[in-house]
A and B are shown apart, each in its own frame.
Chain A
């Protein structure tokens, strides 16, 4: 078998046992890593109703087929388990260097079960693995832990994937970090790892991806072409120049910059947080993930010193900046550092604080609740204090550490209206009232409000644009307005969702392939085939993505999720308060109608959203039929 060692490391923390499993090729063709492998394992090795913090929850860390290939942006791995935030299928992906290093150490995935009786970390090196005590690391910030593990094992090049103190304290949106700068932020999977008493997974390997590839020459040639191509494409060139921050100003102009807990679409102080200000006040260097030519990562100075935690990306800046009414870039960069040192998801942390700010302004939370903190929109010091309180579960932070949905239930009154979440996960910093399919993605995503389900509507509004032309190879033929639902729009959604899901299976970053960025559909397919020796067509590849999405759907259906969970916060059906889309709301009837159309396109029952038996058969998922709700 090519493109993979096909080896999975299985770790039972309760028994302190480690073993290696080798996957057969016919299995790997159906589930070639990442989201697909995780979905299969979670469905087959966990029963419904498992408490996310119990030893029975299964934590899967899985590379994609291409993770670590010498091809720009093929860097991603995913972490998966039952999410403590949504109680559904949990998933979060990240780039960096850890996934490629795991591949070079001879493994595709790590599957962790049970719970250790004391804090441990896992040390994987060139085909071997051992559990080591982490008692001396427990409670320490992520930078200290990374340094301590590298010193203990005597190798500065070890890649450390870890949780932080927030994961130890079971904050429901605690994440994982590798190299302190790359994050599996979403869905609270750091808390799952914390509940298992597993602080870190350290990896070092010496193999090369080329030794796995069916056609290493073809892969290298493609790698060279893509490395050069970054600067020849305006979109990837811009990602390299401004990182993800380049979108702040256009979003504000378009009225789709989430501001003050999604009440508004434009921020009056945007000039203080847009890229030009960031570049002038914060930026010290541009950084990258493994072998990635795009180099969208930023390094910044916080309080006069270069931060070891990297710089805030757009989502972080949006969540702690405009959405909290804050324009103080230094404070935003400090919030980013705090999230990464304690390892909190910066989107959910910022969005839960903006929720609390709105509750405070409406008198649902008082100075007594906040411990004297004036938690109004725009108060940067209050925001910073809340980040630390959440990470440590102190005072009001203990309630907010449960996420906005659970906090709203406790607070009562109108608080539920202010909780901008779907399935319990807070919205990312993208405004659905200007991009309807982003809203559909928030609603239907298995992991709760996720902004990476489909390429955003704005990419496909002009048939002559680069992004639209890139998408035509996926079968998209008609440009459609960003603010529209309907059958044709759902056809876009269905295609783009399978494509993005494929990326999460094989290990490409969202900022690599078209239409978001510069790698052509044809080149993605070439890379899969050169690595694996298969001869997949575009349709075959889309089927892989679709299979993965369906397994995640089945996981949720088995947990009791229904159509009513595929919904959106009430606020989005009301008009924006300001900006160029002032007064614009999502049309509720069209949303519901389009949801039924989308279900049908996906081969699901149009009313219930349950996959039909024909669809399961087409996806070779017949085995999962027994897991579906009956009737």
Chain B
């Protein structure tokens, strides 16, 4: 899978990278994957799997592209 981070979630990504490619031998809930990566779930405001909004419990497959976004405040 490809995991992309939007907003300030980049801060929590390994190496502060905007995107990360991971091997997923079997489908897994996104919340578990993020917890393993030490990305705090409380900071995740939106999740999109293949550009469709989903929630943290979504089961992610190896071929998926997942984007997580932090909440947005004033600009």
A binds B: yes
Residues of A within 8 A of B (CB): 234-235, 237-238, 241, 244, 246-247, 249-251, 253-254, 256, 276, 313-315, 318, 428-430, 451-452, 455-456, 458-459, 461-467, 510, 515-516, 580
Q: 7 smallest A-B Cβ distances: which pairs?
A: A464-B42, A314-B75, A234-B11, A238-B8, A250-B69, A458-B71, A234-B8
Residue on B nearest A243 in the bound complex, by CB: B75
Q: Is the CB of A510 within 8 A of B74?
A: yes
Using known A-B contacts A234-B43, A465-B43, determine if residue A251 contacts B72 with beta carbons closer than 8 Å.
yes
Please, how many residues of chain B have a CB less than 8 angstroms from a CB on the other chain?
24
Q: Is the CB of A253 within 8 A of B8?
A: no
Name A580's contact: one of B7, B41, B53, B67 (CB within 8 Å). Answer: B53
Residues of A within 8 A of B24 (CB): none
Q: Is the CB of B11 within 8 A of A253?
A: no
Q: Is the CB of B45 within 8 A of A237?
A: no
Q: Is the CB of A238 within 8 A of B7?
A: yes
- B73 beta carbon closer than 8 Å to chain A: yes
A253 and B75 CA atoms in complex are apart in Å by 16
Name which of B7, B12, B40, B53 has the most chain A CB atoms within 10 A of its CB: B7
Q: Is the CB of B42 within 8 A of A254?
A: no
Q: Is the CB of A461 within 8 A of B75?
A: no
- B48 beta carbon closer than 8 Å to chain A: yes
Residues of A within 8 A of B73 (CB): 235, 247, 455-456, 458-459, 467, 515-516
Residues of B within 8 A of A516 (CB): 73-74
A250 and B46 CA atoms in complex are apart in Å by 8
Using known A-B contacts A234-B8, A238-B10, A250-B7, determine if residue A461 contacts B72 with beta carbons closer than 8 Å.
no
Residue on B nearest A464 in the bound complex, by CB: B42
CB 8 Å contact bits of B33-75 with A (1 = contact, 0 = none): 0000000111101101000010000000000000101111111
Other 17 A-B pairs with CB < 8 A, given A234-B12, A238-B8, A247-B75? A234-B9, A234-B70, A241-B10, A247-B72, A247-B73, A249-B6, A249-B7, A253-B48, A256-B72, A429-B75, A430-B74, A451-B75, A455-B73, A456-B74, A458-B73, A462-B71, A467-B73
Using known A-B contacts A250-B46, A253-B69, determine if residue A237 contacts B8 with beta carbons closer than 8 Å.
yes
Residues of A within 8 A of B75 (CB): 244, 247, 313-315, 318, 428-430, 451
Residues of A within 8 A of B10 (CB): 238, 241
A475 and B60 CA atoms in complex are apart in Å by 39
Name A250's contact: one of B18, B72, B74 (CB within 8 Å). Answer: B72
Residues of A within 8 A of B74 (CB): 430, 451-452, 455-456, 510, 516
Q: Is the CB of B46 within 8 A of A253?
A: yes
Q: Is the CB of A462 within 8 A of B42?
A: yes
Residues of B within 8 A of A250 (CB): 6-7, 45-46, 69-72
Using known A-B contacts A253-B48, A253-B53, A254-B45, determine if residue A465 contacts B71 with beta carbons closer than 8 Å.
yes
CB distance from A258 to the nearest CB of B (A): 11
Residues of A within 8 A of B67 (CB): 253
Using known A-B contacts A246-B8, A456-B72, A510-B74, determine if residue A276 contacts B45 with beta carbons closer than 8 Å.
no
Residue on B nearest A451 in the bound complex, by CB: B74
Total number of residue pairs linking A and B with CB closer than 8 Å = 91
A318 and B6 CA atoms in complex are apart in Å by 17
Residues of A within 8 A of B6 (CB): 246, 249-250, 253
Q: Is the CB of B45 within 8 A of A461?
A: yes
A72 and B41 CA atoms in complex are apart in Å by 29
Residues of B within 8 A of A246 (CB): 6-8
Q: Is the CB of B46 within 8 A of A459?
A: no
Residue on A nearest B42 in the bound complex, by CB: A464
Residues of B within 8 A of A253 (CB): 6, 46, 48, 53, 67, 69
CB distance from A472 to the nearest CB of B (A): 14
24 residue pairs from A and B, CB less than 8 Å apart: A234-B11, A235-B8, A235-B73, A246-B7, A247-B72, A247-B73, A249-B6, A250-B69, A253-B48, A253-B53, A253-B69, A254-B69, A318-B75, A430-B75, A452-B74, A456-B74, A458-B45, A459-B71, A464-B41, A465-B42, A465-B43, A467-B73, A516-B74, A580-B53
Residues of B within 8 A of A318 (CB): 75
Residue on A nearest B70 in the bound complex, by CB: A250
Residue on B nearest A453 in the bound complex, by CB: B74
Residues of A within 8 A of B9 (CB): 234
CB distance from B31 to the nearest CB of A (A): 13
Residues of A within 8 A of B18 (CB): 276
Residues of A within 8 A of B48 (CB): 253
Residues of A within 8 A of B72 (CB): 247, 250-251, 254, 256, 456, 458
Residues of A within 8 A of B69 (CB): 249-250, 253-254
A256 and B53 CA atoms in complex are apart in Å by 14
Residues of A within 8 A of B42 (CB): 462-465
A459 and B40 CA atoms in complex are apart in Å by 15
Residue on B nearest A515 in the bound complex, by CB: B73
CB distance from B20 to the nearest CB of A (A): 15
CB 8 Å contact bits of B1-25 with A (1 = contact, 0 = none): 0000011111110000010000000
CB distance from B48 to the nearest CB of A (A): 6
Q: Is the CB of B43 within 8 A of A247?
A: no
Residues of B within 8 A of A515 (CB): 73
A428 and B75 CA atoms in complex are apart in Å by 9
CB distance from B25 to the nearest CB of A (A): 28
A512 and B69 CA atoms in complex are apart in Å by 21
A244 and B75 CA atoms in complex are apart in Å by 6
CB distance from B16 to the nearest CB of A (A): 8
Residue on A nearest B12 in the bound complex, by CB: A234
A256 and B6 CA atoms in complex are apart in Å by 15
A465 and B35 CA atoms in complex are apart in Å by 15
CB distance from B70 to the nearest CB of A (A): 7
A250 and B11 CA atoms in complex are apart in Å by 15
CB distance from A628 to the nearest CB of B (A): 31
